[in-house]
Amino acid sequence: MAGQSDPYISLFSAQEVEFLGEDEMVEIVPNMRMDPLNLICGDFGPFRPQIATQVPLWLAVALKKRGKCTIRPPEWMSVDKLTQVLEAERNSLREFQPLPFHYVEIARLLSDHARDDIPDVYMVRSLIEDIRNVRFHKVETGLETIHERTHAVKLKNLSAMEANIVRPFVVRALQAFYKHDSPEMIPQPDTTAIRRRQVADRGPKRDRRY
Amino acid sequence: MASGSEEGSGFPADDYESLIATTDVELLKRAWRNEKAAPEILHFQTALVQRSREQIQLMEETVEEFGENGTDPLTVSLYQMDLDRTQFLLRSYLRIRLQKIEKYMFHILKTDVWSRLSEQEQKFAKRCTDDMERHLEQSVLSRLPDGYQSILKQSVASEEDDMVPEPRLDTFVFCKSKGSIEAFQLDDSKEVVDLVADDLYILRYNSVKPLIESGQIDLV
């Protein structure tokens, strides 16, 4: 998407969003003994073989990379659950299904680093991909409802990565509408929203020609 | 106002959540996100930065000790990772602020935004503006005709300081509310919205600014 390289336009880089996602908690089953860790971000452990414990994702991945634990994928990351989510996602035109705020990043990190701990990892991956696509399409259709009197947009259940990607466009669109919003424009139902949108799209180009 | 008011606001009833939310790393992360997403510079989190610095220093000493007393290298590397993550947050937080100061220095200098800066930031802003003023003076302004030599105005005819870049406070931001806020008034319109806890909203920065300052909503 345009503008992603510009730190002022796209606020968070993909790595920064991932960084935030790495603080989500997951359950691991260690295969070694280690004393509790008293970290700045919290206390975790003790770690005992075969005894499950909760740690942040970054810690889980670090241990996993060294072969010190298995990661228990979160409940929503099963083929069953994801199939249901995908179906519901397809059946509902406007609403987003509740998924963790960082589901994209969690799924990516786990399927990159803990492939052997996720049953049917390829299926899970492709389901996540499908869900992302359906949701994205929905975001795009949803944007068409933005019009000149839009003061607030509610995006229930939109995830961190999704929000970050649409942000540059949405913010600019809302700013443009806000700027061109003048009292003599009396909103008419239905068609006006779409017509105005096209006008706004063409606006900048026309300006440049003059 | 830094951290005190934030901690007072209503956290979700979930015990575990609220326990996590009160660690300084969590507060720092919130400050970092807010600072990154807000168009203008926010109040410097003096107490929080101070505490984070102390914790980082303490942890650096601990990691060093570990290295000396032969602690298991895995444990040491995990402590180091935690340290790196916290340092990243703190550095990034301070850097975004410096970027904002550089961008809006003249605006900051002549408004009460000045009081939101830390002591060091104020020194930095002062030096920045001095240098910039001197540079513009020498390279351009001194060669312009009388009446066009102000650094803040296009010409003496300008009533306002029209050459000072200002942050756009009417821009839109993505935010999440921690608790539910009913019938929240959107500044210049007559519209009200009910903010449901944990839902994502896009609202005008101007209208939610007080809620950010009181810690009731977070920018994301």
Q: What is the CATH number of the domain that holds B58?
A: 1.20.58.1030
Identify the band that residue B19 occupies on the pLDDT scale cut at 50, 70 and 90: low
Q: Which of A164, A18, A7, A168 is nearest to B95 (CA)?
A: A7
Q: Is B63 helix (H, G, I), strand (E, B) or coil?
A: helix
The reply to whether B24 and B125 lie within a common domain is: yes
| A45: chain B residues, CB-CB within 8 Å | none
Nearest-Cα residue of chain B relative to residue A54: B16
Per-residue pLDDT, B114: 96
| B24: chain A residues, CB-CB within 8 Å | 40
| A157 close to B (CB below 8 A) | yes
| A59 close to B (CB below 8 A) | yes
Identify the band that residue B201 occupies on the pLDDT scale cut at 50, 70 and 90: very high
- The residue-averaged pLDDT of B123-134 equals 96
The reply to whether B145 and B79 lie within a common domain is: yes
- Cβ-nearest to B78 among A59, A167, A178: A59
The reply to whether B206 and B104 lie within a common domain is: no
| A187 close to B (CB below 8 A) | no
Residue B1 covered by a domain: no
The beta strand positions in chain B, using DSSP E, are 172-177, 181-185, 192-195, 200-204, 217-219
Gap between the Cα atoms of A57 and A64, Å rounded: 10
Average pLDDT per 10 consecutive residues for chain A, totaling 210 residues = 44 93 97 96 95 97 97 96 97 92 97 96 96 94 79 89 91 85 49 38 33
The reply to whether B85 and B189 lie within a common domain is: no
| C-beta of residue A14 within 8 angstroms of C-beta of residue A102 | no
Per-residue pLDDT, A184: 45
Per-residue pLDDT, B209: 92
Per-residue pLDDT, A206: 33
Domains identified in chain A and CATH numbers: 1-19+73-210 (1.20.58.1020)
Name which residue leads in pLDDT, B10 or B45. Answer: B45
CB contact under 8 A, B75 and A35: yes
Which domain covers residue B179, as residue numbers? 168-220
CB contact under 8 A, B82 and A11: no
Per-residue pLDDT, B21: 53
The reply to whether B158 and B184 lie within a common domain is: no
Q: Which amino acid, B196?
A: V
Q: Cite the DSSP H helix spans in B38-70.
A: 46-68
| B220: chain A residues, CB-CB within 8 Å | 160, 163
- The residue-averaged pLDDT of B85-102 equals 96
Contacts of A128 (CB under 8 A, 6+ apart): A82, A103, A104, A107
State pLDDT tens for residues B151-171: 898 888 888 888 899 999 989
Residue B134 covered by a domain: yes
Per-residue pLDDT, A193: 39
DSSP category for residue B115: G
The reply to whether B103 and B188 lie within a common domain is: no
CB contact under 8 A, B78 and A62: yes
Structural domain count of chain B: 2
Q: Which of A78, A79, A99, A80 is nearest to A89 (CA)?
A: A99
The reply to whether B138 and B187 lie within a common domain is: no
Name which residue leads in pLDDT, B139 or B193. Answer: B139
CB contact under 8 A, B199 and A12: no
The reply to whether B156 and B173 lie within a common domain is: no
- The distance of Cα A63 from the centroid of its chain, to the nearest Å, equals 25
The ipTM assigned to this model is 0.84
CB contact under 8 A, A155 and B199: yes
Report the CATH number at residue B219. Answer: 3.40.5.60
